[in-house]
A and B are shown apart, each in its own frame.
Chain A
Amino acid sequence: MSQAQTNKTRKTRSVFARLASGIRRPASIHDFHGGIHPPEMKHLSNGTPIVPGPLPQQLVLPLNMHIGAPAKPLVAPGDKVLKGQMIAEPIGAVSAAIHAPTSGTVSAIGPRPIQHPSGMDAVCIVIDTDGEDQWVEHQGIADYTEKSPAELVDLIRHAGIAGMGGAGFPTSIKVNLGDHQRVEQLLINAVECEPYITADDRLMRERAEQIVTGIHILQYLLNPRRTLIGIEDNKPEAISAIKRACKGCDIEVRVVPTKYPSGGEKQLIQLLTGKEVASGQLPAQVGVVCQNVGTAYAIKRAVCDGEPLVSRVTTLTGDGVSQPGNYEVLLGTPVRDLLAHGNLAGLDIGRLVMGGPMMGFTLHNPGVPVVKTTNCIIAASPEELPEPPPEQPCIRCGSCAEVCPANLLPQQLYWHAKNDDLEKAQHHNLMDCIECGACAYVCPSHIPLVQYYRYAKGEVRQQAADQVKADKARQRFEARQARIEQEQAEKEARRQARLEANRKKKEAGPAAASTVDVAALKQASLDASKAYKAAVKAAKAAEAEGADNLAELKAEVDRLKAVADKAKAAVRDAKDGAPVAAAPAEDAVAKLKKQVGDASSAYKAAVKAAKAAEAEGADNVAELKAQADTLKANADALKAELREAKTNAPAAAAPVAQADPVAELKKQVGDASSAYKAAVKAARQADEDGADNAADLRAEADRLKAVADQLKADLRDAKANAPASPAPTSPSTATAEEQPDPVAALKKQVGDASLAYKAAVKAAKQADEDGADNAADLHSEVARLKAIADQLKAELRDAKAAAPPTPKAAPAATATTDSPAVSEEQAPQSLSEVDPEQAAKRQKRLKGLKTAYNMAHKQYKEAHAAYERAERNETANADELQAMQVKIDKLKAKADNARDALDALVEEAKADIRAHTGKDLKTLKLEAARAESALADKQQELEQQRSSASEDTLEALSSELQALESETQIARKALKQAVEEQGLAE
């Protein structure tokens, strides 16, 4: 029906209503749609006055007789209570107090059956009555206008007054609307439209004055513009009684035609005011407040007499009781007691209804108590209210739609409810159904329509609740998805960063395994920084020698530094996403130990060189000094790094890491300082010995010092940039074990190269000293060796770049192939000099390879164990397992390579040593012997000339002697070292 037509129809209807009211009624009454006229049955009970109800042995008072929060008990079992004493107080805004309806003893507080559609129990206060019905001290207010409305509202709340019409909404809420809501009309509902019920009828007939006083109190509280009492025209006595009581005041009595459900709140509002309460809103929102006439009476009693709500007028009716009528029943009176009181004849009862026949509830148990909302008890004989006839098919006759006061289409709602088509039911405004039962009353097919609607409404509410739940779950799920996506995106970003870093590394040359975790990144970073350090060292060595490819090396150093920085940045990025683990810190310490070891070997070499220089004289003292400086800086850097690692490492790792490296570092520092002192001493001696090349040396020394300073600065920078690498963290314990052995090997390689340089330099020095006839040759030889070393370095770099997945093995292999070539080239020239150096070099390589192999093997085993563990515990998914497998394969290959290289080197070293050692030892022995004999000769000469020669000659001789002594010492030392090395190699 279109809006316009609807309005027109309504207008027409109201015109008719007005015309009709002009004839029959004095004031305008608006009609509402539908409604029924069931047999009234009021004559059963409206002929006799209200009489007091029984005083039962026990009263059962549910804590929730009203809508809202249950009241909170103030008494305990065993407490004596007096009539009117508050036994439970209101909790929260929507609640009402409960008072003892008579004097007695609280016997229990616990669940008792109450009137509830599902037959459930609820917490009740049980009072054993003492029969004295003794009131608590109470006093009414003579003039309620002296009290503020707020005080009265509080009084009503604590008098336990709740809507007496049926809903039981706490009255204190309805009379306390606040200033923002202007009450246009106060409606007093005296319609009593349901059949059978006559409680309000009798109340109005007998206590009209008190009701009107109650209405005045409501007027005082609400200050309405108009006050209307609606009474159905089937209660003429009540109408006249109220009219009499209202004479001279502003209360208008409105007689409404008898029609069910005129007493419905919304219907009464429409009848008396023509207003409609919008769907889902409260009457107050259209400026209307409805109060039941019984409530008005209870308010009067509470305010003027000080009597809280302890009883109410209840109609006991039906042809199952012999004395139907209205009883003033104490709240909590079990229906059984009331029936015994009014059904002395003991008639047969087929159905017990609490409330009216249209909207009441059948009672499953006559023990349930009368509560504040109980306006009627119908004890019907089986004939009066028989079992409902069987349900017939709906023929859509539309009778239900004709009587629906909400103007719904009950026949359609029925179809949709029956089919669980809740969406369509809601589209037909299911939720506006007031469950008045008019549709079911008229249904010729006896379909319990209200039951279908209650069911559908319950489903709708359930769905709404489920929807709320589902929404929450969905929000949680979405948040989780977003989080996972973000994590994956971050993971992907990190992966990309790693790939990028790996790619750059591959471009740059240094070997880098393309593993996909932080450990690999860390490794890459470490490799880069090591390569950088090695390059720095190489550059240093090159500078020491004389710098024809110095610029090239420096460029290389810079490039490596950039690579290292990038790798470190990648590691830092990766670390940001990874939790800190303790194990990697230990690794870092171990790594540092190794670095320290390297540094110490470098130191030892430097010390050795310095001692040699000391012995030889001063031509390369400055160089040594520079080298010593550099090494000292190196040592400092390592020391600092170790300290940092220690602070970063967890306490567990610290004790292991602390002792050795510190001691070693201390030793190193001691060595370095002694080497430094020796170098200084040698320089001084060189100055003394003679200054033929002193100027050259000094210039060279200055240059070297500058270079050394620069290198020191570089190192400091490297150190500053490198903190990430010594103490990295990784989330993966399996990969965290990965050690920088390839790097160590590389570093060793580079160290070897520089050692070769040093050896060559040393040889040249020695040659210088032995006799200057082949000094020039040797110098050229040094240059040649340097070229060879450079070439070697370049080759190593190439090898590293060519074999990134096996960084450990490749350099070793390269080394093994390279070293024979070196020795072959060296052999014809100065075998005796080169051999010990070669041996030392090989020795170092052997050590490195051993370490590399051990580590690789250990890693492999650990990775394998981790894999097995993961597989067994199922802690990793298939992808992770596969990744682990790949890693294990790689590690195995690495370990195998390292082992092969080691084997090859050992074989080679053995062969080499077997071929050369005899000669070497012989030469060394000869040297030592020659040195000793030279020393002895010089001593003899000194002794001979001591008497004859001049002071100057003597001094020269004694210094010569001193030099020879040191030379002898060095030769002895070299011999000893050679013997030792041979033993080690074997």
Chain B
Amino acid sequence: MSAVSHRTRLTVVPSYRIAVGRGLSILAALNIVAITLTAMGRSPVELAGLIVRSTVGSRFGIEDLALFMTPLMLTGAAVWVGIRVNLWNIGAEGQLYAGATAATAIGLFTNWPTLVALPSMIVAGMLAGAAWIFVPAAARAWLGVSEIVTSLLLNFVASLLVYYLATGPWADRVTGALASTERLHTAFPELWGAVHLGFILALATVIGLGIGLAKSRFGYETAVCGSNPQAAHYAGIGVAPRILAVLLLSGALAGLAGVFEVAGTVHRLQGGLANNYGYLGIVVALLARGSCLALIPAALLMALILDTGIVLQTTQISSSAVLAITGLLVLAIAAGDELAAYVRVNRT
């Protein structure tokens, strides 16, 4: 009858539609990037070849991807456990710093054997990450203060504290490196080139988290609290303690990212260590939607973008290109997810 075919919105979108939608979205975003590069007088084909060669096309590139993925999987998981119950931890950046600082303290001021030092770093880092979100979490649980604002603001506090430590009391007096501590005495063992044990542990954490939440009473109770706090109260589930627990878990995951980053990849506590991993974790979590395991490919995609940015920088393209490409991609994927929910009305 009418020229435009009509569509209706599905309430439950099958995952193959999401997959197709996202494939098309990524293609569209890449095309826009290519057009922009052409307009700048660059050859997109040449640049694409360079990017592929220096990321997935080379040993170093793949190592780099794994190193980027390690913190991204964990900050992604940190944000994801919150979103699952309607809580938004925007402070993964700060909790990552807190975890890294705790690990650094052990790495700089003890001479424990590796088998003792590494587990202690993990425990201390997770506790520090949880401690860094404790006040926002408790305020959210019992006073209803928005965790979005409070967790965000603590990022700046954490970042400045790390700058203070790295330039002040913990500054490297031996080599005189700027805004950095000495090299830690202990490191996560390297398994494959620069890829260290942290990568495997991060993978295992994400997989364990997914299975654990699906098969535990804690996972069920927090899902109820997130979906309808009134129904949780009705069923005798205390909402406030569970909000606190979920946010502390979220902080601990981000803290763990900091441990791996400082004791596995960078080996020194530096200003700017977090490298926006906390904020990019939000993107990773959003890309993963409802599934914890999907955090892994989402982190891989994000790692690819970060790597692409570095490659582009070597060809004199501004480092802000990474942010622009990330934004473009997220926008395209959000639109793709939405459009995937619409099906053409079949008329007979």
Partners in one complex: no
Which residue numbers of A lie inside 8 Å of B, CB to CB? Answer: none
